[in-house]
Amino acid sequence: MNLPKTPSFNLQGKRALVTGAGRGIGLASAVALAEAGASVTLTARSQHEIESAALAIREKGWLAESKTLDVTDLKAVEAFIQQSEPFDILVSSAGGARHKSALDVTEEDFDFTLSLNTKSAFFVAQSVAKKLIEHNLPGSLITISSQMGHVGGPDRATYCASKHAIEGFTKSMSRELGAHNIRINTLCPTFIKTPLTEPSLKDPSFKAYVENMIALQRVGEIEDIMGPIVFLASDASALMTGSALMIDGGWTAY
């Protein structure tokens, strides 16, 4: 009997770019990819954080380097990607939030959130895809979206708008990039314990609301996204594109 062979999760020989890699989900993604064998470039505005993170990864015997980069500086992003060897894997994790009532959101709040979360993610993906197509290479592009890209949430109108938009361009780009064997998907976490969510989760009533909305009744840890990142980056998800991988503990099942 010829048994089927499980696709490999090994990323040896692959080059990965991770934005927002200084902390939280971005850092966890970089570690997971490096541990799986990829050579990882960590980028963020915080030079000290990504240099320290890259050093710690190398001390584990894995491959990592850092590049200080502001993803909202689209010309700098494009120049960096153009002068680099193609990246087989992209994890676009840079992002932010200004949570307030929709009635209190200012134009500056709106522009900040959409520029950082959506506009930068779109153009990073575009630049990485262009370089892959130029070299006739396949690739896996992953954007860190959110459960809030599929539902609404109190005081999160602009954040939800930014993440719903990511889901939209991911579906559209998958239709265009599929012919080049480039896959693009989103990873959609629930509330994960990170520096970004820490202020909200310090409020006992809000934390109770969050845990009540999650079927597994716990806030996520950054380790919860590491396996899914490797899955999306690897051949194990070879037929997956234009999709959202929900890591939400059951929030959107309600």
- Examine the residue annotation and report whether 254 is marked as an active-site residue of this protein: no
The residue among 136, 38, 54, 53 whose CA lies nearest residue 91 is 38
Cβ atoms within 10 Å, residue 211: 15
Question: Which one is catalytic: 80, 159, 191, 251?
Answer: 159
**For the packed helices 157-177 and 120-134, what is the interaxial angle rounded to 10 degrees?**
10
The secondary element (H helix, E strand) that includes residue 41 is: strand 39-44
Task: Using alpha carbons, select from 46, 92, 95 the residue that is nearest to residue 69.
Answer: 46
Under 8 Å between Cβ of 21 and 32: no
Single-letter code of the amino acid located at 23: R
Nearest-angstrom CA–CA distance, 78 and 128 = 8
Pairing of strands 63-68, 15-19: unpaired
Please identify every residue annotated as catalytic: 159
